[in-house]
Amino acid sequence: MQVGLSTKNAPSVWVVVPHFLIGAVSFLIASVFLLFNYEDLLGYHINASVLAVLHLMVLGWVSMIIFGALYQLIPVVMQVKLYSEKLAMTTLACMVAGLFFLIAAFLGYKFQLTNNFIIGGSLVITAIVLFAFNTLKSALESKEKSISKYYIMASVGYLALTVLLGLFTVINLSYNILPVAHTELMKTHLVLGLVGWFLMLVIAVAAKLMPMFLIVHKTKENLLRWAFYLINAGILIIFVSVFVKQTPGYVDLFSFVLIFAGLIMFLLFNYDVFSHRMRRKLDIGMKLSAVGLIILVAAILSFAAAYFGSAALGLPAGRIEIISGLLLVYGFFTGLILGQTYKTLPFIIWLYYYQKLVGKQKVPLVADLYSDKLAAIHLFSFVLSLLLFLTGLLFSVKEVLFLAAAAMLFTSLVYGFNVYKMIFHKKIII
Amino acid sequence: MLQENINAEEAKVYELLKQVPDPEVGVNIVDLGLIYKVSINTVGKTLDVDVTLSTPGCPVGDTIIQHIQTVLENNYIGYAVLVDLVWEPQWNPDMISEDGRAELNA
């Protein structure tokens, strides 16, 4: 084998592809739920249906696709084979079963330690521990010293902490093991999950893929190093402070400033890559990713505004938190995943069908495996949906929220059709 | 830049290799500057090609190498074709030809 090639380390198509399929289905189901429960977004508290949609989005959609994409990217970023494909499939089975019970638990509308919570939570934790083991074991076998590798290792560690703290929060609600306010535990659970797991992983992937796809050679890696230190410091302070009694208010503020500073470094890194790109024309995958990054700026501003509270902004209680979460999960993460799907999934399928035929027969291009037009349509409906959500939430207009949820459902349907088209591709010989 | 001091037969090989695209970028590997050396020995019937990739771990590396091998074997029957993946000098975007740049943004 020639040194530096990742193809021979690439995982089987059967390991990666089901994650994309289940991810697309989860996005669709979450969008249907949202369409039937959109009025809950205007509620005073974050209620059970919002939590069901949120967990379906973060576990079934965002995490599922990240799992699949990471199995494919480990050989690219770390130049090693995934430690175990069997473990990856077991992880998937546990995750799907766990998610099923967890959503049923949330939809039971009881914030108690029900059996569904215990079964669902335990299965999700098992899935995540297996995933963390598989990923970290692969990382430890890699001799690569890229910044992406360290981001991946940190993010996987945070993922394990997120689910453990999530389960602990539910147990503590019933048994009061530690005298910590459950809102504080929830906040830390959220920060660990959204910033520690998702954002750190997104940075890891972006650090490798953005310059690769846009053809940029010299990147400002120092910005990513600073971002790594700042974000980690911020998360760790938040995590430790939740267990310290009566932490002064400025500790929270300080840790959020550190995280924001890190995110700004990450955005500056991307800005530099985009402005020095050799490939000026953006394909649909990169357009969607760019939209995701722009929404990250809006999400940062929104989270900063959340510090002052909804009342100070003239909004009903809890509203700015909903807007911030929506911008991050439905905006940034979803935008990036929609885009990166077109940069990863068609490749796996193309390599599966055509790798051995190149040069012998005329084969289609990677981009021929999906409809560019459909992708452009869901780019439009996705942006429209977010704008409608913002308008509906800022001005408390139910009808606008309904339209926003409908536009998101439309986005998930069109995206789902394109994913279907890629996964069930029929071999073309030109 | 790497096609200096080549003979007519080697120039023919470069032209042939323009049939091989980078499947992600859609531009051929010669204009992308990925071919570092072509050396043909018509007496000993050997054909050596040094190729690089834009980044280590490039997911389509194998596909590109296999494509080069097939194209050359089909056109140089009886020749021993050896495709070597090299990493020195490190590839950079300045190695893309004018045609390649135009094609990238077409």
- Where residue B48 sits, what CATH number does that domain have? 3.30.300.130
Q: Two tokens at A68?
A: 């699949």
Residue A46: what pLDDT? 64
DSSP A22-49: HHHHHHHHHHHHHHHHGGGGGSSS--HH
Least Cα separation, residue A19 to chain B (angstroms): 19
The answer on pLDDT for B96 being more than 70 is yes
Q: How far is CA B50 from CA A79, A90, B8, B82, in A?
A: 21, 42, 18, 9
Residue A294: what pLDDT? 92
- In-domain check, residue B102: no
Least Cα separation, residue B10 to chain A (angstroms): 20
Tokens 């091989």 locate to: B20
Q: Kind and range of the H or E element at B39?
A: strand B35-41
Mean pLDDT, chain A, rounded, equals: 88
Predicted confidence band of residue A17 (pLDDT cuts 50, 70, 90):
very high
- Selecting from A77, A215, A365 the residue whose C-beta is nearest the C-beta of B23 gives A365
The answer on pLDDT for B1 being more than 50 is no
Least Cα separation, residue A82 to chain B (angstroms): 14
Predicted confidence band of residue A392 (pLDDT cuts 50, 70, 90):
very high
Predicted confidence band of residue A394 (pLDDT cuts 50, 70, 90):
very high
Residue B25: what pLDDT? 80
Query: Of A126, A104, A132, nearest to A116 (Cα)?
Result: A104
Residue A111: what pLDDT? 60
A271: left (phi over 0), alpha (psi -120 to 50) or beta: alpha
The answer on pLDDT for A158 being more than 50 is yes
Over the stretch B3-40, which tens digit does the pLDDT of each residue have? 667 788 889 999 999 989 888 788 899 999 999 999 99
Region A229-245: mean pLDDT is: 89
- In-domain check, residue B57: yes
The answer on pLDDT for A4 being more than 60 is no
- In-domain check, residue B56: yes
- SS3 category, B47: strand
Contact call for A215 and B104, based on CB within 8 A: yes
Q: Give percent of chain A above pLDDT 70.
A: 95
Residue A1: what pLDDT? 42
- Cβ atoms of residues A382 and A413 within 8 Å: no
Q: Which residues pair with B84 in a beta bridge?
A: B50
Asked if residue A179 has a cis previous peptide bond (ω within 30° of 0), the answer is: no
Residue A121: what pLDDT? 86
- In-domain check, residue B101: no
Over the stretch A325-368, which tens digit does the pLDDT of each residue have? 899 989 999 999 999 999 889 988 988 888 878 777 788 888 88
Q: Which residues on chain B are in Cβ contact (under 8 Å) with A6?
A: 57-59, 61
Over the stretch A100-128, which tens digit does the pLDDT of each residue have? 999 888 887 666 667 888 899 899 989 99
- Selecting from B24, B53, B60 the residue whose C-beta is nearest the C-beta of A4 gives B53
- In-domain check, residue B71: yes
- In-domain check, residue B15: yes
Q: Which residues on chain A are in Cβ contact (under 8 Å) with B26?
A: 365, 367
Least Cα separation, residue A360 to chain B (angstroms): 7
- In-domain check, residue B38: yes
Region B58-81: mean pLDDT is: 87
Residue B22: what pLDDT? 86
- Selecting from A5, A75, A278 the residue whose C-beta is nearest the C-beta of B104 gives A278
- Cβ atoms of residues A98 and A63 within 8 Å: no
Over the stretch A55-87, which tens digit does the pLDDT of each residue have? 899 899 999 999 998 998 888 888 888 999 999
Query: Of A275, A301, A281, A386, nearest to A335 (Cα)?
Result: A386
Domain count, chain B: 1
Q: Which residues on chain B are in Cβ contact (under 8 Å) with A72?
A: 59
Least Cα separation, residue B49 to chain A (angstroms): 14
The answer on pLDDT for A5 being more than 60 is no
Interface A-B: count of C-beta contacts within 8 A: 95
Residue A356: what pLDDT? 79
Q: Which residues on chain A are in Cβ contact (under 8 Å) with B66?
A: 355-356, 358-359
- Selecting from A7, A77, A278 the residue whose C-beta is nearest the C-beta of B93 gives A278
Contact call for A351 and B53, based on CB within 8 A: no
- Cβ atoms of residues A265 and A203 within 8 Å: no
Residue A414: what pLDDT? 98
Range name among A213-227, A234-248, B82-96 with the lowest pLDDT average: A234-248
Least Cα separation, residue B32 to chain A (angstroms): 11
**Which residues touch A332 (CB under 8 Å, ≥6 apart)?**
A292, A293, A295, A296, A299
Q: Kind and range of the H or E element at B46?
A: strand B46-51
What is the pTM (predicted TM-score) of this model?
0.85
CB contact A215 to B (< 8 Å): yes
Q: Which amino acid is at A408?
A: M
DSSP A374-389: HHHHHHHHHHHHHHHH
Q: Which residue in B has a C-alpha nearest to residue A357's C-alpha? A: B67
Q: Tell me which residue range forms the domain holding B66.
A: 8-95
Range name among A396-405, B21-30, B75-84 with the lowest pLDDT average: B21-30
Query: Of A334, A429, A427, A425, nearest to A371 (Cα)?
Result: A425
The answer on pLDDT for A388 being more than 90 is yes
- In-domain check, residue B26: yes
Contact call for A215 and B25, based on CB within 8 A: yes
B12-21 contacts, C-beta under 8 A, 24 or more apart: B13/B38, B13/B40, B13/B47, B13/B49, B13/B72, B14/B38, B16/B71, B16/B72, B16/B75, B17/B49, B17/B68, B17/B71, B17/B72, B19/B71, B20/A359, B20/B64, B20/B67, B20/B68, B20/B71, B21/A365
Q: Is the ipTM of this complex over 0.95?
A: no
Residue A6: what pLDDT? 55
Residue A54: what pLDDT? 85
